[in-house]
Structure formats: structure tokens, C-alpha cells
Amino acid sequence: MLHDVGIINVWTFLAGALVIILLPGPNSLYVLRTGMSRGAKAATRAIAGVMLGDLVLIFLAWAGVATLIRTSPHIFMVVKYLGAMFLLYLGAKIIIGTLRKRDSEQPAEAVKQENYFLRALLLGVTNPKAILFYVSFFIQFIDPAVTHTAPAFALLGLMIQGISLSYYTILLLAGAMMVRFLRSRARLVKLANMLTGMLFFGFAVRLVSAQS
């Protein structure tokens, strides 16, 4: 049945997708950090933004943009450098914010103004793991001989979204549990934020070094 709509090697796809989603990346790290520092409601907005970002990438892959990026080194370079710049920005913002908190705490009003959905959406569409997944892995399981590829992209997209939603929900719950543990441990919170910022720097470096 799946082969009839243009999906090939579905079990290989699911196994590979599960491994890739479970690997630590900017999306999962951002959801976990948001849950730890801002609570379940903010983490839910972050999850919605990340998943919308994935939908955008799935649509672009269906529209042929993934193939264009894969076959054009110049376009791929522009995409990955833009993604790396955004990851560096997030990492620097986290680290600078953490260092500033040593002298004075951020007011509650400033915390509420952060748009977790929009930031997660931008992170989702510039996530190196997601870009490489949809450019190099996702489209390999679409039969090029099929007349209409939209159903195949939609079904594979639903599978990916289902796995991602389950994983992000676990991260949200884990973040909520860690909030209770870290509530009275300010030094551990600062250390975790510094490590998070450094990890975003690492993701940026990995994206720049990625090959098309």
C-alpha cells in the first residue's frame, strides 16, 4: 500500500528517522531548556514552533528545494551559513544573559516578552540536523517514478511528526521535573545555561563543516 503512493523502504526510513530524531540537536535542546527555565506552557509553544518548522522543510522538500540545495553547492553554502549564524546568535544570547544574571536578575516582564514559538520556528528551519535530514535522507524514500509525490511526502511527514511529538513531549516532562530539582540551585542553573550556549556554538560549527 505504501509503495503504491510512492514510499519505498519504509522500515529503513523509520529506523533511520528514529535514530536521527533521538540524536541531540538544537531543536531538542531548545525544547528541554525552555521547559527547564520557563515551564511547560513555554515549552509547548517551542514544540509547536519546531514542528511547524519541520512542516516548512517537508513542504520545501516536496517542492523540489531539497533537490536544488543538494545539487547546488552555492545554495547549500548560503543555507548552512545562515543556519550557523542563527545558532551562534542563540548561543551568545544564552551565555551573555547568564553572565549578566550574576549582577542582576532579569525582570519577570522581560521573560514574558520572549516569543518561544517564533524563536523555535526559526530554529527549526535552520536546524543543521533537520536540513541535512531533508536534503540527504528524507527524499531517498520517495520513488522518483511515481506520478504524484505529494501523498508520499505527506505520509512520511506524518510519521516524522508523530515520532518528533512523542520525543518532545518526553523532553517537556523531563524539563518540568528538572525545574523542581533546580529551583533552589542557582549555580547549577547557570552552569546548565552556559553549557547550553556552548552546545549551540558546537551545532553551528558542525553545520558549517557539513558537506552537501
Q: Which residues of 151-171 are buried (b: 16+ CB within 10 A; e: fewer)?
A: ebbebbbebbeebbeebbeeb
Q: Is residue 22 part of a domain?
A: yes
Domain that holds residue 99: 2-104+112-184
| SS3 assignment, position 7 | strand
Tell me, what's the pLDDT at 1? 60
Structure confidence by residue, pLDDT tens digits, 126-185: 776 677 777 777 778 888 777 787 888 888 889 989 999 999 998 888 877 776 666 656
* Poorest-pLDDT segment among 45-54, 77-86, 87-96: 77-86
Q: Is residue 190 part of a domain?
A: no
Tell me, what's the pLDDT at 134? 76
Q: Is residue 205 part of a domain?
A: no
Q: Indicate whether 111 pLDDT > 50.
A: no
Q: Is residue 118 part of a domain?
A: yes
Per-chain mean pLDDT for the chain: 77
Q: Is residue 208 part of a domain?
A: no
Tell me, what's the pLDDT at 184? 57
Based on the structure, what is the number of domains in the chain?
1
Q: Is residue 198 part of a domain?
A: no
